[in-house]
Structure 1
Amino acid sequence: MPKMEAAVEIGSTGIRMLIAEELDDGTRNILDRSELAVSLGRDVFTTGTISRETLLQCLLILNRFKEQLAGWRISEKDTTVVATSAFREAKNRDSVLDRIMVKTGFRVKVIDGIEENRLMFLAVNECLKGEDGQGLIDRNGNSVILEVGGGSTEIMLLKDGKIAGAHSMRLGTVIIEQQLRRMGSMPDAKRYIDEFINNTKIALDDELDLGKVRNFIAIGSDMQLAALFSGRPVSAFLWEMTKGEFDAFMEEVQKYSTEEIAARFKIPYNEADSLSMNLLVFQLFLNRTEAERILVPETSLREGIFISNQNIQNVRKEFYSQILASALALLRKYHGDEKHAQHVRHMCLTFFDSLKDELGLEESSAQSESHCSPRLLLEIAALLHDIGSFIRTHDHNKHSKYIIEHSEIFGLNREDIQIVSQIALYHRESKRMKSDKEFVSLPRDARLTILKLTAILKIADSLDRAHTQRIGKFRLSFTTDTMTIVTDGSHNNVLEKIAIEEKSDLFESIFGYRVMLR
């Protein structure tokens, strides 16, 4: 029997629900959709809190959705409820989340911007696949995926099909409306958006030059409306339109009042009210690229939730490669030693796989908030452990922690990034871990993950102390109390032996093996 599940998204302008069934072949049928407007964004971006009236409205909508789910016989465990930018910024979000749980039974997960990007990538990646299973994005060209919401704009940059950057920007239609009320005219609002995008472009150019983007992928119901009236279908859930067709549609929309937009396009008043502003953001971003056509997938974050829950092998493989591509893009941005980083990464994987039965990490990771396996977290930490040398070689581990903490790595949530940053910090000075308030305040599972992965990274890093990759292949030999690293060839390994003596203390205390190099 097909499995039914639901995804609910609490956004800045409305609450949306999608109900689907998963078939035996892994595909999904959409069974039901619901969407009701709510002014969460206007509350939060004006006063900083969610008002009592808006909370009551949210409870009413969610209880209505709960009745709908009961009609489909979908249980709470098969329903995922997430909240986005408005809840992220609400000062009273904890008390509001508690009322929602008490009054509706829904446990809402507030996701950060990079998690939104992750879910949208999963949805878009599936939607853009042709009948042969291959993506329709030109793998030899640069692409941008853009979604403009009520409280934030999510952007993903892809270089030759691989993630080069992923960011959540505080620019949304509700926020722009607040600025418009202050400025009073559409030209001023356009200038405000244009300057914001121009400043954003300067920052993004370090990752990918927007001026060289050929593929422009636009997400959201407003762009779907534009494609429906001005474009043409490419496949069942994908539309396209030329830049000229989109510009003509924009010109038409700007002639109408909100009431005329609602009547002309048969959409609710609240959607009509923000249509021009939303499309303007897309247009100004589009104008900074060389893209001549726009791809508009008929998908959403909610489809991304289904795919994420499904956990298909080929989806995991594609997602895994995109996470590593994002970490590599960050390394290159800060001019890291890529050869050393990749060499240490491969050595870390050899250690991890050889010690897999003794690590005991997979189960603890599954119970945490992490999206990434410990093995993948170790790979990312290995790639980025020396990234702080961009600031200063001395104490570079502290600078590595700072850069990682304040960066957005595609596919990693805040818990993942915190673990990676801690591993990068302690790959040099692990002795002060027990006195570090930040470390000791972490959950037990996270602390164990950091300890074990840091111990592995320290050994792997010591084997390439001179950053020359002299030690290539090696094998591990175990006795009761010793792990011997046996290298190929007849290299002089004196420096590496000294490094291992200096850096093996954590490994020996955790795993109980004395480390020898032969």
Structure 2
Amino acid sequence: MELNKTSESRVVAFLDIGTNSIRLLLVRINPNGSYLPLTKQKEAVRLGDKGFIDKILQLKAMERAVIVCKKFMELARAYKAEEVIAVATSATRDASNKVQFLEMLKKEAHLEVCTISGNEEARLIYLGVSNEFRLGHSKALFIDIGGGSTEVSIGDQKQYFFLHSFDLGTIRLTNMFLPDETGPVSLERYEKIKAYIRYKAAEVVKELSRYRIGCTIGSSGTLENLAKIAFVYLHRTSSGNYDKLGYEDLKKIVRDMCALSLEERRKFPGINAQRADIIIAGAAIIETFMEKLEISEIKISKSGLREGLLVDYLSKSEFSHLINQMSVRKRSIMQLGLACNFDEEHAHIVTRLALELLDSIQALGIYEFREEERELLEYGATLHDIGMFLSYDTHQSHAYHLIRESSLPGFQPEEIEIIANLAYFHRKNMPKKKHSNLTGLNNDTVKSIRVLSALLRIAESLDRSHNGIISHVRFYIASTRSLVLEIHAQWECQLELWEVEKQKKYFKKIFGYNFQSKVIVDQGVETLPVLYTF
């Protein structure tokens, strides 16, 4: 559906009616194409409970789902949502009484729901999850374990190459192999589950094996919970990131959980008690795939189908360039800048000048930048002023907090720290080693912040008037320990030069060079060089 161009923001609701849970994402989409997630909600309803043997949704399960959908629709109305996009997956599409369920939702919750195919589910999950990671042209395997089905896909940043949906889900397999099981699960029973999964997935696993995979990314509540269990149980602490799941760790926790009764399993370190009865089946699915495809570790994503619905929605709008023509990292940066109503023209000018400074320093052999530092300088320069809408006097501090507290899909935590601190140190305070912002950061991260901020401070000074006077800038060597900063300007730029002068001392401390400013004023075909020495 096309978004109509409008001068006002709009709120859109995205609902994923799954076999185990119903998920809601409410998003405010702004006229400039940025979007702000307003709330994410999730409720376990067990829509597929006892429903996969005879493919009939149980009345109580449907009633639970309707109650949750009514609550979510009330929330959407409270946020004044103009559109609601709702899809139903495995349990609904397989049910012989799905028409009855869809009519209940329409009549009682005033909700129109579209039932999607397994392949469409896999496509939307790919869109939602790939949007969170920096993949480039490297292919990744995506695995999502739901209550009724497991979706797999292979894709890079721009496109998918393979989609498939298996009738293998945590609730489906629990109903088949562990119905009403309250005691320990024998290893023989567990191996039977795995054998069934191997049988059902054999042909597709062969197909997946033909691809060269750079990494594997898993999504869904089941995988998130298994990663948390592995971390908490094996490290004996609940403080940390549950962003990966190792094969050896998985085998260890599964066998220890199988040895427990259901009641004891509910108390297992890190477990979501509501998943205790279905976690064994979920573990069997992912362990089997990891075995057959020789996967040693899976990265865990918190995104999924509902985020894919958002990406799909935007890709069909006038803002499709934000989705289709930008890398996930560039898109994250632009989304945050647009959401903060930043001065986009000034940000682009400062970014261009900062990168020209870095490139000339690199070309002269004065400093060897790490490969990723140029990109991080670009993003720090783009976002350096985003705190302006809160306060001019302390906008650098607001920018720092806005960047650190934003999710910024595609970035590692230490990269976010560098970008945030570049915004913080672009004016006023210098990044001294003992500054509180730098406490706890590793030496490489602190070094990047100090070196890149020296360039960003000069670039910001060169557009002090926000008039875009400076067209190009570069350093060249004047003598053994002295440089010339050659500035091409459209007209005289005394204010910019005055600001640049303030940065010389810190530049020398970082790079070991003094510099003089030489301005070349471009006037039609004539250029007038003027050398400024302070």
TM-score range, shorter chain: 0.5 to 0.7
What is the CA distance between 1:19 and its match in structure 2?
1.9
* Distance in 2 separating the partners of 1:182 and 1:103: 32
Partner of 1:111 in structure 2? 116
Matched to 2:311, the amino acid is I
Quick check: 1:207 aligned with 2:207?
yes
Out of 217, 231, 244, the residue aligned to residue 240 of structure 1 is: 244
Deviations 1:426-457 (A, max 9, x none): xxxxxxxxxxxxxxxxxxxxxxxxxxxxxxxx
Q: Determine helix, strand or coil for the equivalent of 2:243.
A: strand
| Aligned-residue identity in percent | 21
What is the CA distance between 1:42 and its match in structure 2?
2.1
What is the CA distance between 1:62 and its match in structure 2?
1.5
Partner of 1:310 in structure 2? 314
Q: Determine helix, strand or coil for the equivalent of 1:5.
A: strand
Out of 139, 164, 170, the residue aligned to residue 173 of structure 1 is: 170
Partner of 1:122 in structure 2? 127
Q: Determine helix, strand or coil for the equivalent of 2:51.
A: helix
Q: 1:27 to 1:277 in 2, by over 3 A?
A: farther
Cα RMSD, aligned residues only: 3.3
Instruction: Please give the residue correspondences for 1:39-438 in structure 2 after superposition, counting only pairs within 5 Å.
Output: 39-75=46-82, 78-129=83-134, 135=135, 139-140=137-138, 143-158=140-155, 163-181=160-178, 186-204=186-204, 207-209=207-209, 213=213, 215-230=215-230, 239-265=243-269, 269-311=273-315, 312-313=320-321, 315-316=323-324
* Distance in 2 separating the partners of 1:24 and 1:216: 35
More helix by percentage: 1
* Distance in 2 separating the partners of 1:289 and 1:171: 17
Partner of 2:390 in structure 1? none
Deviations 1:72-128 (A, max 9, x none): 2224xx211111011111111112211211122100100110110111011111111
Q: 1:201 to 1:68 in 2, by over 3 A?
A: closer
* Distance in 2 separating the partners of 1:186 and 1:283: 16
* Distance in 2 separating the partners of 1:26 and 1:257: 51
Could you tell me whether the CA contact under 8 Å between 1:21 and 1:28 is conserved in 2?
yes
Partner of 1:501 in structure 2? none
What is the CA distance between 1:45 and its match in structure 2?
0.8
* Distance in 2 separating the partners of 1:253 and 1:151: 22
What is the CA distance between 1:258 and its match in structure 2?
3.3
Q: 1:197 to 1:124 in 2, by over 3 A?
A: same
Q: TM-score, normalising length from structure 1?
A: 0.52
Matched to 2:44, the amino acid is A
Partner of 2:38 in structure 1? 31
Could you tell me whether the CA contact under 8 Å between 2:230 and 2:253 is conserved in 1?
yes
Q: 1:33 to 1:126 in 2, by over 3 A?
A: same
Q: 1:267 to 1:251 in 2, by over 3 A?
A: closer
Q: 1:98 to 1:29 in 2, by over 3 A?
A: same
Q: Determine helix, strand or coil for the equivalent of 1:47.
A: coil
* Distance in 2 separating the partners of 1:230 and 1:6: 34
What is the CA distance between 1:237 and its match in structure 2?
10
Q: TM-score, normalising length from structure 2?
A: 0.51
Deviations 1:473-504 (A, max 9, x none): xxxxxxxxxxxxxxxxxxxxxxxxxxxxxxxx
Could you tell me whether the CA contact under 8 Å between 1:231 and 1:242 is conserved in 2?
no
* Distance in 2 separating the partners of 1:191 and 1:253: 14
Could you tell me whether the CA contact under 8 Å between 1:211 and 1:290 is conserved in 2?
no
What is the CA distance between 1:66 and its match in structure 2?
1.9
What is the CA distance between 1:294 and its match in structure 2?
1.2
* Distance in 2 separating the partners of 1:277 and 1:29: 36
What is the CA distance between 1:183 and its match in structure 2?
11
Matched to 2:174, the amino acid is E
What is the CA distance between 1:269 and its match in structure 2?
3.7
Q: What is the count of residue pairs matched by the alignment?
A: 306
Partner of 2:458 in structure 1? none
What is the CA distance between 1:171 and its match in structure 2?
1.0
Q: 1:2 to 1:264 in 2, by over 3 A?
A: farther
Deviations 1:156-184 (A, max 9, x none): 13489864421111111122112214797
Q: Which runs of 5+ in 2 are unaligned?
A: 1-7, 233-239, 328-534
Matched to 2:294, the amino acid is E
* Distance in 2 separating the partners of 1:25 and 1:296: 31
Could you tell me whether the CA contact under 8 Å between 2:66 and 2:109 is conserved in 1?
yes
Matched to 1:282, the amino acid is I
* Distance in 2 separating the partners of 1:98 and 1:45: 20
* Distance in 2 separating the partners of 1:183 and 1:152: 21
Partner of 1:370 in structure 2? none
Could you tell me whether the CA contact under 8 Å between 1:11 and 1:85 is conserved in 2?
yes
Q: Determine helix, strand or coil for the equivalent of 2:56.
A: coil
Q: Determine helix, strand or coil for the equivalent of 2:57.
A: coil
Could you tell me whether the CA contact under 8 Å between 1:36 and 1:61 is conserved in 2?
yes
Q: 1:92 to 1:106 in 2, by over 3 A?
A: same
What is the CA distance between 1:21 and its match in structure 2?
2.6
Could you tell me whether the CA contact under 8 Å between 1:237 and 1:299 is conserved in 2?
no
What is the CA distance between 1:272 and its match in structure 2?
2.1
Matched to 1:105, the amino acid is H
Deviations 1:170-228 (A, max 9, x none): 11112211221479754354333333343355412553317965522111122222334
Could you tell me whether the CA contact under 8 Å between 1:150 and 1:172 is conserved in 2?
yes
Q: 1:208 to 1:58 in 2, by over 3 A?
A: closer
* Distance in 2 separating the partners of 1:200 and 1:163: 23
Out of 8, 21, 41, the residue aligned to residue 14 of structure 1 is: 21
Could you tell me whether the CA contact under 8 Å between 2:225 and 2:271 is conserved in 1?
no
Q: 1:23 to 1:230 in 2, by over 3 A?
A: farther
